[in-house]
Amino acid sequence: MRAITKTLVISSLLLLAACFAPSKADLLKKAKGASTRAELEAALGEPSDVSKFGPIEKWSYKASDGTVVFVLAGDTITIEATED
């Protein structure tokens, strides 16, 4: 019985946390002015997903209404876009 209760509580907390995910607009607003990897990570934290192709990296952040993607060449942000 305790295991079922714990599972329900954890599931409820995860669903509640998802309700408070920032929107794409919120993420873009927080990242405004960031031009380097360090500035972006300071503004938004660790990305949800990172893809690499040589020196090019694609950092994706999940939002409540889609995904925000930043493309980095070395330490410099080159492109920002939204998906979904």
One-letter amino acid of 60: S
37 falls within a domain: yes
- pLDDT tens digits, one per residue of 9-67: 676 665 655 567 899 999 999 999 999 999 999 999 999 999 999 999 999 999 999 99
The domain that holds 52 is classified in CATH as: 3.30.1450
Distance CA 23, CA 63 (A): 5
Residue 48's nearest CA partner among 12, 84, 7 is 84
Indicate whether 75 belongs to any domain: yes
Range of 52's domain? 21-83
- Is residue 2 domain-resident? no
- This prediction has a pTM of 0.74
Q: Is residue 27 part of a domain?
A: yes
Cα(28)–Cα(23) distance, integer angstroms: 9
